[in-house]
Amino acid sequence: MAGNTQTKSSSGAANYIVGIIALLVGAVVLRDSNFALPGGILLNFGTLLSTIGLVLILFPVVKQFYIQPLEQAINERNGNLEKTFTEAEELRSTMDKMRSDYERRLAETEADARAKIQAQIKEAQVLRQKLEAEAVGRADELVRRAREEIESDRTKLKVELRTEVVNLTLTATEKLLGENMDSDRNRRLVEDFINKVEVPS
């Protein structure tokens, strides 16, 4: 880096010296040297050499105060643009990653929600089947108990009716015969007769 700076300084000094020499030679030595070009154009070597020398002298100044600041500004601007593009690319990459993460989490959430809904539906179906089974079991139990109660009531009623018929029969017979007919033997006879004529249910 230092070698490049020294080379540029040496080159600038050499250009400056050459420019001074050209300016002096053109202005002093060749100031009246004219040369005619084809087509009638008159060329003065002194003026031309002086102009070249003046350009060589002024070029480092122009370069120092105009070209170099302009190059620095352009380089800085390019650096800022590259930095901005890099940041924009990083931001885009980050946004793409965030979007991918969001879409992945959204898909996972939807899948989890679907799984929970399916599990709840299955649980509800199992519960419904269980409740239906319990309801059917309770209904069967109620029907069985009702039948047992009806059968018990029917048996009890039959016994009561049979006793009542026996009593009525004995009472009617007593009235007809004028004797007491209420004895174990007579009661058995009447019950046997009722059993024979009783229609099975």
For 194, residues 6+ apart whose C-beta sits below 8 A from its C-beta are 162, 165, 166
Supply the pTM of this predicted model. 0.36
**pLDDT value, residue 117:** 92
CB 134 within 8 A of CB 163: no
**pLDDT value, residue 158:** 78
Q: Examine residue 48 and state whether it is found in any structural domain, yes or no.
A: no
**pLDDT value, residue 39:** 62
Residue 200's φ and ψ, nearest 5 degrees, are -65, 140
Q: Examine residue 76 and state whether it is found in any structural domain, yes or no.
A: no
How many structural domains does the chain have?
1
Q: Examine residue 37 and state whether it is found in any structural domain, yes or no.
A: no
CA 108 to chain centre: 6
**pLDDT value, residue 2:** 47
Q: Examine residue 125 and state whether it is found in any structural domain, yes or no.
A: no
CB 51 within 8 A of CB 26: yes
Per-residue pLDDT tens, the chain, 201 aa: give them: 445 555 555 665 666 566 666 656 655 555 555 555 566 566 556 666 667 767 767 777 777 788 888 888 899 999 999 998 999 999 999 999 999 999 999 899 999 999 999 999 999 999 988 888 888 888 888 888 888 888 888 888 877 777 777 777 777 777 666 666 666 766 676 777 777 665 555
Q: Examine residue 74 and state whether it is found in any structural domain, yes or no.
A: no
Tokens read off for 111: 């899948």
Residue 41's φ and ψ, nearest 5 degrees, are -85, 130
CB 53 within 8 A of CB 24: yes
Residues spanned by the domain of 183 = 152-197
CB 23 within 8 A of CB 53: yes
CB 56 within 8 A of CB 22: yes
3-class state of residue 141 by DSSP: helix
Measuring CA to CA, how many Å separate 128 from each of 114, 131, 165? 21, 5, 54
Q: Examine residue 160 and state whether it is found in any structural domain, yes or no.
A: yes
Q: Examine residue 123 and state whether it is found in any structural domain, yes or no.
A: no
Alpha-carbon distance of 195 to 144, in angstroms, equals: 28
CB 6 within 8 A of CB 14: no
Q: Examine residue 138 and state whether it is found in any structural domain, yes or no.
A: no
Tokens read off for 164: 């009542």
CB 32 within 8 A of CB 51: no
